[in-house]
Amino acid sequence: MGSGDLESRGSSKNRGPPPPPPASNYYTSSSPYYTESLEKQWTSWLVPMIVVANVAMFVVIMIVNDCPKNHNSSLEGNCVARFLGRLSFQPLKENPLFGPSSSTLEKLGALEWKKVVNDNQAWRLVSCIWLHAGVIHLLANMLSLVFIGIRLEQQFGFARVGVIYMLSGIGGSILSTLFIKNNISVGASGALFGLLGAMLSELLTNWTIYANKAAALTTLVIIILINLAVGILPHVDNFAHIGGFLTGFLLGFILLVRPQFAWQERRHLPVEARGKSKYTVYQYVFWILSMILLIAGFAVGLIMLLKGENGNDHCSWCHYLSCVPTSRWHCNNR
């Protein structure tokens, strides 16, 4: 969050411990999401590295795809932007996102139920996070990652944000594979929704340090609901979004806990003079419950997946969470 460390005040040894500065020196509200504190601010390098890795991976995908060589133009039209050579895109009728063919994505690690369950290729739960269906898909995800991830990394460090990103991506992959049988899935959306979920739980578990609580909560919930609502459109894997969001939400209670305001206010005093516990009871309760739910959720999901079970058999209406059929489109994810 904020930058700088607490500095000792007062020059006389006989004055005793200096009085705590006003609360306004500790917390201000520069945005609806977070308050600013005098805690250490981390330098963000992990999120930019993830962006670079995703862009580099997309270039590799397009080189392998090699549309001019592998595509039959007489059947489906010409490659788009042929001046790019091997990097040119599939015809827009085949891929409107300016990207490779589905067969290329499948070859390089796209998430597919049959490959994971029947061919024991569980590594696809991770590899699919680093693949994107096209330039538009890549730009949308990477811009979101920059706006969400850099701020979180500056506040909580690369280790915690990295764990949330990867585990949320895997959680999204597991839920997606359990419910979507007929399509492949790629993208970092599950991991990104995990960061959104972590932001929400961080707000709830650190409620006492926020200046504009209602504004922060309302804004964040609206952003999450809008993004989840977009997921009910066809060709969007909302199960990856939901799985990633739930994983990140639980991880936020575990990894993003902050000391309560009263402890922060007195932390420069001697230990015996603080008189306040570092964390509140509800923070401990959230931490324990989230740890139990997270472990149980991953265990149940992986067991169901390895057994080849179809999540739709246990939830007859859940398929509507990813696609709602209308007169203009149909859904075929089951």
C-alpha–C-alpha distance, residues 112 and 106, integer Å? 8
Instruction: Tally the residues of the chain.
Output: 334
Class of residue 323 by CB neighbours under 10 A (exposed 0-12, middle 13-18, buried 19+): buried
Measured at the alpha carbon of residue 233, what is the angle toward residues 129 and 190, in degrees to the nearest 5? 20
Residue with tokens 């008189």: 275
- Bridge partner list, 116: none
The catalytic site residues sit at 189, 241
Intra-chain end-to-end CA distance of the chain, in Å: 43
User: Who's near 23: CB < 8 A, 6+ residues apart?
Assistant: 261, 265
Count of CB atoms situated within 10 Å of the CB of 98: 19
For residue 317, give the DSSP letter: T
C-alpha–C-alpha distance, residues 257 and 209, integer Å? 11
Report whether 191 contacts 127 (CB < 8 A). no
C-alpha–C-alpha distance, residues 37 and 26, integer Å? 5
For residue 196, the number of C-alpha atoms closer than 13 Å in the C-beta half-sphere is 26
Residue with tokens 């006492």: 208
C-alpha–C-alpha distance, residues 89 and 268, integer Å? 59
Count of CB atoms situated within 10 Å of the CB of 269: 14
Helix (H) or strand (E) holding 29: strand 28-29
C-alpha–C-alpha distance, residues 245 and 228, integer Å? 10
- Angle subtended by helix axes 135-156 and 46-65, to nearest 10: 160
